[in-house]
Amino acid sequence: MVKRRSWLYVAAVLAVVVLVGIAYVAAGRHRAGARQSVARASAVASRSPATLTPQSAGLAHIFVIVEENKSYSEIVDAPTAPYINSLIEQYALSTNYHGLFHPSLPNYIALTSGSNYGITDDRGPVGNEIAAANIADRIEAGGRSWKAYAESIPSPAYAADSGEFATRHVPFLYYKDIMGNVQRSRTHIVPLTELATDLRSERTTPDFAFITPNVCNDMHDCPIATGDRWLANTVPLILGSEAFTTTRSLLVVTWDEDEGTADNHVVTILAGNSVKPGYQSGGRYDHYSLLHTIEAAWQLAPLTANDAQAATMNEFFK
């Protein structure tokens, strides 16, 4: 009888031990599963739109001014460019920004469409239209407005060189879907004289503006000092406009290329209330980076693999 009770006692103890072991294993599995769930949730969160939204998001207006054929070293700290250097001190400078091609036109096309589409010269637009999507298409599809302001253009959408007006510096004259629509082209590719009128109110200011100085004021045919004075007269109109003082907006001043070097190192300034004041970065960027930054700011699909893979200039924004 005593032996039977002892056996029953041992069996009961063993049963308790087994049950405790099973409970411990189950608890361990639960904790591991919980950790995996948290990890999965974190991974999902890291890919969510809210987490990936760039600091450039929320920009109401983006202006781009393209100057011509001057290297970084010719502009930064140059006594002939006092206004440009005042912008650098006040706003943000990309110290390692590069053009993509030589000569001018392929840079303008790449900046606005994500590729040069085989263009390696400064051909005119007539008979050379490009059947490719461009940033204007993306902007319109997203419900935003745009204009290309060209100094010295004889009339809206004028597609031939004339005096100090050069078609190769106005990329939107080259896109077939724009130039094939008379109303669209004449509404959106306009003389620079319209800029002051449009800037009178935030409502009439386009969301995206591409500004082309003539071949003197862009420094192509005239000295750096001439272009600097032109910027000193033009940029304050933009930065002081209702659009820039009442909304979070961006102005970019860049150069299409340097004067023919392989490095193609040019100045790019980001200005406005959206950027970090006095900020400078040596991160490598180029025209595809600027295009991708515009796309990211407004959640527009990239145009090609070139801009899709280019780093955005997110670090410059507050």
Report the first-to-last Cα separation within the chain, whole angstroms.
Answer: 85
At 20 the pLDDT is: 40
Beta bridge partners of 210: 64, 148
Residues 69 and 126 grouped into a single domain:
yes
In terms of domains, do 158 and 279 share one?
yes
C-alpha neighbours within 13 Å on the C-beta side of residue 35: 5
**Same-domain pairing of 28 and 158:** no
User: Do 28 and 87 share a domain, yes or no?
Assistant: no
Claim to verify: residue 152 and residue 217 sit in the same structural domain: yes
Of the candidates 215, 271, 284, the residue with the CA atom closest to the CA atom of residue 238: 271
Query: Domain end: 29, 51, 73, which one?
Result: 51
Residues 77 and 157 in one domain: yes
Model's pTM, two decimal places?
A: 0.84
CB contact burial 163-179 (16+ within 10 A = b; e otherwise): ebbbbbbbbbbbbebbb
Average pLDDT, integer, range 55-67? 91
Write out the residue range of the structural domain in which residue 43 sits.
2-51
Same domain, 31 and 81: no
User: 118-127, pLDDT tens digit by residue?
Assistant: 999 999 999 9
pLDDT digits (tens, 9 = 90+) for 44-60: 333 333 334 556 778 99
Residue 239 token pair? 């930065």
| Domains in the chain, number | 2
On whether both 126 and 182 belong to a single domain, the answer is yes
Pair (179, 32) in one structural domain: no
The mean of the pLDDT values for the chain is: 88
Residues 226 and 244 reside in one and the same domain:
yes
86 in the same domain as 228: yes
Alpha-carbon distance of 188 to 161, in angstroms, equals 18
Please check whether residues 9 and 69 belong to one and the same domain: no
Average pLDDT over residues 221-235: 98
